[in-house]
Structure 1
Amino acid sequence: MGQYAQELFQNVCAEAEAGEYKESVFFHMVTDDLIDAGEFDDAVYVNYQPANNVRVRVDGYCGDPMDSAVEEDEPLTLGLIISEFVQEPDVVTLTQREMGSAFNKLLTFVNNALKPDWRSALEHTSSEYELADLIATRWSRITKIRLYLITNKKLSSRVDGKHAIAFQNRQVAYSVWDLRRLLALSHSTKEREVLRVDFTQDGLHPLRALLASSPDSPNPVYLAVMPGEDLARIYDRWGARLLEQNVRVFLQARSKVNKGIKGTLEHEPELFFSFNNGLTTTAEAVRISEDGNYILSMDNLQIVNGGQTTASIYAAYRAGCDLSKVFVQMKLNVIQPSDVEELVPQISRFANTQNKVSEADLFSNHPFHTRIQALSQRLLAPAKEGTFIQTKWFYERARGQYGDAQAYLTPGEKKKFLLQYPKNQKFTKTDLAKYLRVWEDDAYWVNLGAQKNFVEYAKVLTDRWAEDNTQFNEYFFHSLIAKKIVFNTAESLIPQRPWYEAGGYRAPLVVLSIGLIGNSVRNMGKRVDFERIWNEQQLDEPWREAICQAADAVNPVLMNPAQGYRNISEWAKKQRCWDKVRSLHVDWNDAWLSELISPDAERSRERESGRVQRDDNEIENQRVVVNQKPEFWEKVEKWLVTEGEGTEKERGCVHVAASMPSKIPTEKQCAVIVGLMHRIENEGCPFHMVTTS
């Protein structure tokens, strides 16, 4: 733990060198990990700790009130975050008294926020005023408060929890993310920390279940009936972490399906079991009663289909509805941890769902990510001026991969790894979506939050991949990294502007400033020379000046919301704000303008790189097809005939593959086979190609 504490502290210090306070860096570093782990969807930094009152403080907020799209009658959960960052690398203990004091400061802020005079005394352009106003205006709908304490201290071993209390008739729940818990999260090779549902505790009941698979199956399947109230309590405890992160579902009753669920719960609860398709779930381990009839606990329970059902039942539970007559059928697939990444997406795709799961929803397992990861592992970045060291940019397709790659290295090997993959050259799926979308016509979408932007932009990338996947090539990767360099540089430059206030609105300023640059370049009929940025691995002075020019122009627009918008954070998320930014005129510096290139120059680069990618695709297709055993293709051929699937040409190509090694399919035949397999795997074919090297 001591080593992790030092590494965490050094990481914070390294990022703080870009111009941010260490406390701010720590807040964003931890909340980003918690967002990835599904603890909450997004977090806003506030940093309110007045010098004249040590009894009130808040560092950030999260939860339902952040989402302006929630239904008017939906109950809300308010999440408040307080941070305790120790300015030293050694392990420091967090006592129970310190923990209690931190949580009390958050509740004091809530109490003060409900007082009109106290709110009006705050600076109306400040983030703390935004939060106070948000609490006050939505207080009648807030039914629960979750308090989070994030810290690089180690919680005392004498503290085993903190009981929920009531605050002004609202239930208050507590969560502490201390050094020990952050360490477990960082070392996890899964998408989340172990989630254990114990049906013998917390008012739950042992779950009666029937084994529906072979007793000796490595991945057994159970059929069970879940009481509605138990399901609501489980969701109340674990929230979005129950929902498989590869499949994002709408959690409010907005569609016709959801409103139907809501109506049945309110008026005909005894018919819910008959009307509802139930849940498809997975778990990595279960504990069964001695007689074999009951499930006593599950590890890493995930609802891969039925998120709308779960959320609707939970909404009824919070609204005080009687759920005693509500029961939900559940199919539970117990998946070995080593098989989770492969099997869960297939279960998600083929399960009987009430609302169709799109390929964009499953984008976390899309071949796009595999290709970007392969490019990141293969391509050496040019050495920066003044150094001879060539590095690589680490694409973390699944959370924790960067740490896992170093887990078992010797000190010498780890030093070598970090020289090749510096910490500041790691980026994630949500980062990728942010870097790309901020250059497009709807750049403001990035301000809606990392997860929302990722899910929406996945649809764009899915369509583009289907149209022509060769556009995702080496030049695309070079441009992606160049966009990351621009983004990172803007993050370091904007806090240095004379008008910037510490703890201000850096994130939306960065997004809108880069968005303005991208829009201006398009309007000029020019293109950014991303290849030049890739070659230099940094921005020159004209580029840095252009970012400052953009930020200077954007700041007044952001800080003065149009009439009808209550706060700056909400204003930054709106099309109207983006339209005002796009209408700005900036007299860009001539040196920067001279670095822009023509659309023809960019298209030439794209065509050449696309041609190389097509050649690579042909080689990869042949490798995948040939590496499968002939017996595999014989089974596929029989399935095609039985199910009446595939064209005559496709069946003929598969027949050639089944005849290996006497016949070897050509590159074109392999391309046909791979295209066929991608199509029929989505249509129920039980045979799946192994595409990894």
Structure 2
Amino acid sequence: MELGAVLNAREDLLNSSKDDDGFLQQNLLIDEVMPLLLETKVVDSEDINHTYYLSNDDKIKINGYTVNSTGERLQIFIVDDSYLSESNDDFYVSKRNNYEEQFKKAIRLVSSAIQNKLENVQESEPIKPLIAKLGSEDGLTQFDVIEIFLVTLSATVSFRGEEPQLRTIHYKDDNKSFSHRVVGKKAQSKELLFIRRVVDLNYLANIYSSQGRSEPLKVVFKDVIGKNIEVIKAADEEDFESYLCVLDAPILAGLYKRYSSQLLEKNVRSFLQFKGVNKGIKKTIKDDPEKFIAFNNGLTITATEAKTSYYKKSLYLESLDDFQIVNGGQTTASIYFSNKEGLDISNVKVVAKINIAKTSKSKDLDDLISKISEFSNSQSRVSKVDLRSRSPKLVQLKSLSECVLTPSGKKWFFERAKGDFNTQVRKSTNGQKLKNEFPPKKRFTKELLAKYYCAWGDAPHLVKKGGEKVFRMFIENIDPEKGDGKDINRDFYEQLIAKIILFREMEEVYGQGKNAIGQLRSAAVPYAISAIYLWTKEHEGQFSLENIWKQEALSIGLKEYLKQLLVLMNDLIKKYSLSDDYGEFSKKEELWAVIKLSEELDYFMSSDYSQKKLKNT
């Protein structure tokens, strides 16, 4: 990675993070960064709860947070506002303490919230639900890991030599113990694992240049579990080698706690809770832990490089590069959550086969891992759709975006590969012309495409959740494992663009900041669109996506109506949520199930006002 690439990344992020008045906004910067973090699998979704809060007196700050899909990891985001200037004169960082001071602001927030020292924070502050959660018995039980992301538009460098040299700063994980007292109960103690990540220009430029290939996960076993793993070498062939070992369950629990779903990146299934096979795994851990090794199929792990050493004539595995569990992800997660629920896992052992792929070619590696996953997986079937990283349907959509003109004679830009647009700008002899032709409002990525497409359906909670689940739902809808799927033709493309316009203009109607309807835009918009979708199913042909395509916008009358629907949906999410953290609870299907059958929504959608406005799209 060269300094030029870092400068380009900085310019792109600065330009993409400005509001309509040309001012850089920290929340927009985080919105730009989240999809990039999703690419590297360090987050499960690009969705984030924007909760800007700054207290100079308490020396705390937060820009936003999210909770991972399985609930045990709180991920906090802070923007380093020291490097938001558009000047390129002083954005180099060489000392660790520049970043350490920023991390401390988030750590103080967590510590103060757990000890109930932030009770003076106003109820209207978006951060209040998180503070209440951290200060509760429920929150202390739920969270095991606090992961802090410092988003900074600085380049981390070393000044040895004539030119600055890019480098990476890593922080060791910290275990911190907290004592928490609940009224009427004895004080509880909880140990939390703190993970600190510097998301600097070096990191972000690498994601741009990788074109969607995530950063390989390197596991050094002594750093995570305190010891190396004893193995037996089972095969040493031209293109791969294999090792066999028996893993104690606490080792797997420790790995899952540290890396969560990163371990399962190429095994795309996420934890399915304690149902089906996982219920049986939990029962064996509880009733017959010594027999677990006999009952369970074990793990299949892949990597691209292994470091081994001998000690007292035994072979030990020190580290694995590009570590992935491609079979046994459910076993690993079930062991972790069984232990979290208080079950004893000390006598549980799991057989593991570790395959080291010697090929360095990405295509060959993906093919090998896909076949290992498909042929070795017997706990729950992995579909070919899950294993396929590229879909010909997306290629067809890209082709349509390059040739179909809107009624006004313009085109949309479909960024199928991460960073594709910025690459085209730099290759062009007139990059500014390309930027003018395709402003942000006329561009969409495959991740956003999945959200816009699936919002026109009956699963707004999944749209709110975002990430891998909604993208898989989208792919399986247009390109199912059985059958031909959707015809990706001009009609499909025009309807798709209409859905994008509807979604984005409803976001504008909802608003942001002080003039917004509330703090629930990322939930209220897909929930409202789903309400319109269900109404349209009952009144076929009376809401016209075709008209939106032709007009390339929503009418003023329709916008006025949609604002009232969004106000109602905002209120319903608050009313029927079973948690004060409305943003997180809106990811649950049970909330949508209640809202879509509520009397309030039925009354509004069946009113003469709704009938008139929706029929005259």
Kindly indicate whether the alpha-carbon contact (under 8 Å) linking 1:242 and 1:302 is maintained by their aligned counterparts in 2: yes
Measured after TM superposition, the shift of residue 479 of structure 1 is 1.1
Kindly indicate whether the alpha-carbon contact (under 8 Å) linking 1:96 and 1:156 is maintained by their aligned counterparts in 2: no
Amino acid at match of 2:420: Y
Kindly indicate whether the alpha-carbon contact (under 8 Å) linking 1:39 and 1:241 is maintained by their aligned counterparts in 2: yes
Query: CA separation in 2, counterparts of 1:541 and 1:208?
Result: 68
Secondary structure of the 1:525 match is: coil
Asked if residue 281 in structure 1 is aligned to residue 282 in structure 2, the reply is no
Kindly indicate whether the alpha-carbon contact (under 8 Å) linking 1:375 and 1:474 is maintained by their aligned counterparts in 2: no
Q: Deviations over 1:467-487 (max 9, x none)?
A: 553544331122112211221
1:447 paired residue among 464, 467, 477: 464
**Which of these two proteins has the greater Rg computed from alpha carbons?**
1
Kindly indicate whether the alpha-carbon contact (under 8 Å) linking 2:528 and 2:566 is maintained by their aligned counterparts in 1: yes
Query: CA separation in 1, counterparts of 2:218 and 2:421?
Result: 24
Secondary structure of the 1:134 match is: helix
Amino acid at match of 1:452: K
Q: Deviations over 1:559-596 (max 9, x none)?
A: x4237443322453412234347422466599965654
Partner of 1:431 in structure 2? 448
Asked if residue 205 in structure 1 is aligned to residue 205 in structure 2, the reply is no
Partner of 1:561 in structure 2? 575
| TM-score of the aligned structures, taking structure 1 as reference length | 0.71
Amino acid at match of 1:80: I
Kindly indicate whether the alpha-carbon contact (under 8 Å) linking 1:283 and 1:333 is maintained by their aligned counterparts in 2: yes
Measured after TM superposition, the shift of residue 323 of structure 1 is 4.2
Q: Deviations over 1:162-214 (max 9, x none)?
A: 4514141323222221221122222224531122223565524155342536x
Q: Deviations over 1:312-354 (max 9, x none)?
A: 3334666695647624221415154232343433332222321
Query: CA separation in 1, counterparts of 2:198 and 2:204?
Result: 10
1:487 paired residue among 503, 512, 517: 503
Partner of 1:506 in structure 2? 521
1:81 paired residue among 72, 77, 81: 77
Query: CA separation in 2, counterparts of 1:579 and 1:127?
Result: 28
Query: CA separation in 1, counterparts of 2:478 and 2:406?
Result: 30
Percent identity of equivalent pairs: 24
Partner of 1:329 in structure 2? 352
Secondary structure of the 2:63 match is: strand
Query: CA separation in 1, counterparts of 2:485 and 2:577?
Result: 44
1:611-690 to structure 2, matched below 5 A, reads none
Q: Deviations over 1:336-384 (max 9, x none)?
A: 423234343333222232122245544655xxx3123223224423257
Kindly indicate whether the alpha-carbon contact (under 8 Å) linking 2:73 and 2:145 is maintained by their aligned counterparts in 1: yes
Secondary structure of the 1:53 match is: coil
Query: CA separation in 1, counterparts of 2:559 and 2:577?
Result: 33
2:35 paired residue among 27, 32, 37: 32
Partner of 2:540 in structure 1? 525
Query: CA separation in 2, counterparts of 1:497 and 1:249?
Result: 34
Query: CA separation in 2, counterparts of 1:578 and 1:5?
Result: 48
Query: CA separation in 1, counterparts of 2:325 and 2:596?
Result: 36
Partner of 2:182 in structure 1? none
Q: How many residues align?
A: 571
Query: CA separation in 2, counterparts of 1:24 and 1:587?
Result: 39
Query: CA separation in 1, counterparts of 2:62 and 2:17?
Result: 22
1:282-297 to structure 2, matched below 5 A, reads 282-287=302-307, 295-297=317-319
CA RMSD in angstroms, aligned pairs only:
3.8
Higher mean C-alpha displacement, 543-552 vs 144-153: 543-552
Partner of 1:299 in structure 2? 321
Distance 1:552 1:310, change over 3 A: closer
Kindly indicate whether the alpha-carbon contact (under 8 Å) linking 1:373 and 1:395 is maintained by their aligned counterparts in 2: no
Measured after TM superposition, the shift of residue 222 of structure 1 is 0.9
Partner of 2:398 in structure 1? 376
Q: Deviations over 1:389-447 (max 9, x none)?
A: x4343252xx536269649x645286687677665544344323321222223334422
Query: CA separation in 2, counterparts of 1:18 and 1:207?
Result: 58
Query: CA separation in 2, counterparts of 1:101 and 1:59?
Result: 16
Amino acid at match of 2:220: D
Amino acid at match of 2:34: T
Query: CA separation in 2, counterparts of 1:3 and 1:18?
Result: 27
Query: CA separation in 2, counterparts of 1:205 and 1:479?
Result: 55
2:247 paired residue among 224, 227, 239: 227
Asked if residue 391 in structure 1 is aligned to residue 411 in structure 2, the reply is yes
Query: CA separation in 2, counterparts of 1:570 and 1:163?
Result: 26
Secondary structure of the 2:319 match is: strand
Amino acid at match of 2:447: T
Unaligned runs of 5+ in 2: 159-166, 179-190
Greater percentage in strand: 2
Distance 1:115 1:3, change over 3 A: same
| TM-score of the aligned structures, taking structure 2 as reference length | 0.79
Distance 1:17 1:293, change over 3 A: same
Distance 1:459 1:564, change over 3 A: same
Amino acid at match of 1:39: V
1:13-412 to structure 2, matched below 5 A, reads 13-14=15-16, 16-18=18-20, 22-42=25-45, 43-50=47-54, 53=57, 55-64=59-68, 76-85=72-81, 86-89=83-86, 90=88, 92-94=91-93, 95-114=95-114, 118-119=118-119, 121-124=120-123, 126-135=125-134, 136=136, 137-155=138-156, 157=158, 159-168=169-178, 169-199=191-221, 202=224, 203-205=226-228, 208-212=231-235, 215-217=237-239, 220-228=240-248, 229-245=250-266, 247-250=268-271, 252=273, 254-265=274-285, 268-287=288-307, 295-315=317-337, 321=344, 323=346, 326-334=349-357, 335-336=359-360, 337-359=362-384, 361-362=386-387, 364-365=389-390, 369-379=391-401, 380-382=403-405, 385=408, 390-396=410-416, 400=418, 402=420, 406=424, 410=427, 412=429
Query: CA separation in 2, counterparts of 1:187 and 1:546?
Result: 43
Kindly indicate whether the alpha-carbon contact (under 8 Å) linking 2:309 and 2:317 is maintained by their aligned counterparts in 1: yes
Distance 1:537 1:57, change over 3 A: same
Kindly indicate whether the alpha-carbon contact (under 8 Å) linking 2:479 and 2:486 is maintained by their aligned counterparts in 1: no
Query: CA separation in 2, counterparts of 1:57 and 1:412?
Result: 43
Amino acid at match of 1:517: I
